A and B are shown apart, each in its own frame.
Chain A
């Protein structure tokens, strides 16, 4: 059976969901899965990884500060030591940062942001978007190690595994770059790439002073992040971290609500794989309605507060 090494990201001693999804995707290929956890809190996160499919967990311990290049070398060493035929990580900010370096350390190429992953013969086959999802490519690999990152919110994290053996390995201390500090996000705001629900606003919101309506609708859902179209980010109404589309972030939430967004091709590319799309726009000819599962033609200033109230009521009665 093939062995796959998975880099698991953790925060405060808990594995992040994108990483448990990646672990389960690796396990679903029928491979033996070795998880690697780094940074402060690694040992606390290790115990939970068996149930997501890891049979062994390697904790990189003892580094006073996190270094992405040292971590990449440590990960490549685990891949070699375990004689693994594949290396996977979640396509989070940290996963995207480390995975290409692990691949290069192994003289292998990388398949980024995969939406499909399966065993094929004695290797693996991956599916990934090109042009932000305007086309979908299926690839196999001639690399010594198949390296891939998995897109958050696409794979199912399943808690069907058992317990894992936990090993501690000293982390390398010779990083050329180190994370000196992290300024936490204010108020635990959800990231647009990770949130199960995304509420986005566009030019139809008419000005930054009206985006509290978008925020209130997101708050009503409870588990939602706020997003934005390129036009409103370029206009300085919203921060670029919220931009959804080909020149922003590609998202695949369970529910995407587009408010006052006409649906330019570059925006559609970034959100068309959302499971359910709702569009609210006063122009019934807007292209966004062509990809939306449910549409309301109307004034955002009237519809959005009514929707927020209704969502709140539904959730209160659950």
Chain B
């Protein structure tokens, strides 16, 4: 089975936001980058599926050329090849523009199963996976915590507010992965050495005009300074009074 895992380069979770000079973007000068948190769960699911049903795994990103670094790390864990749709302003694409460019590449790769993180931790859209599936006319299951893939179909579980859903689906499919699905493996030395000789292909990402127009970016309003109501259990009555009489939440 030809499997693809999607990666997105995002600022690290420790990153502080600063508004860019145009007031419509983030100032990225202080950013360190990493693959989005959920991506390694998607790659692990891809490798486990390959180990079970055979085939190969391509890790695919739409991002800067430099993202080859992240792709090689995932190749070291057991993926077979990497591909970059190069766009130095990847973070400014809206979800549709990203999904459309990826859909074209997935068709060219001939993938039958695409695994992605449930959300990328920069723009927090959680949209590219299901949009990609829709553009391809494939089935899709989002935020899965359990996954079984057979040759032409699969079964997944996903958590909702009302309980755990069991979803049956046909392949080809896009599946987005939630924490709890698996424990991502670490690369070993052999994998790291082997990754150096594996191919990472590059091609320009298709230019697609954004529909989302950023009008302004701001930092969230600072919270009003609070107060320490006291120390230890003795402070409980004052807290209760404040919650009732000042905050009106009790």
Chain A residues packing against B (C-beta within 8 Å): 11, 16, 68-69, 72, 92-94, 96-97, 99-101, 103-105, 107-113, 125, 128-143, 176-185, 191, 193-194, 197, 233, 239-241, 243, 246-248, 250, 254-255, 265-266, 272-273, 275-278, 284, 289, 291-299, 302-303, 306-307, 310-311, 314-315
Contact = CB atoms under 8 A, between A and B. Distances in A.
Nearest to B168: A180
Given A136-B219, A138-B216, A314-B250, A293 B224 contact: yes
Given A69-B139, A296-B236, A296-B239, A241 B159 contact: yes
Most buried by A among B13, B128, B211, B214: B211
Given A302-B233, A310-B240, A277 B226 contact: yes
Given A266-B14, A297-B231, A108 B165 contact: no
Given A93-B158, A132-B121, A182-B165, A303 B233 contact: yes
Nearest to A245: B13
B228 A265 contact: no
Interface of B: 11, 13-17, 19, 26, 37-38, 94-97, 99, 121-131, 133-135, 138-143, 155, 158-170, 173, 178-180, 209-220, 223-224, 226-233, 235-237, 239-240, 242-244, 247, 249-250
B167 A191 contact: no
Classify the interface of chain A: helix, strand, loop or mixed.
Answer: mixed
Given A183-B166, A247-B38, 15 more contacts: A103-B127, A104-B131, A104-B135, A110-B125, A129-B220, A130-B123, A143-B96, A177-B170, A180-B167, A239-B180, A250-B124, A265-B14, A294-B229, A296-B229, A298-B231
Nearest to A76: B134
B178 A93 contact: no
Contact of A108 (B96, B232, B237): B96
B249 A255 contact: yes
Contacts of A184: 162-163
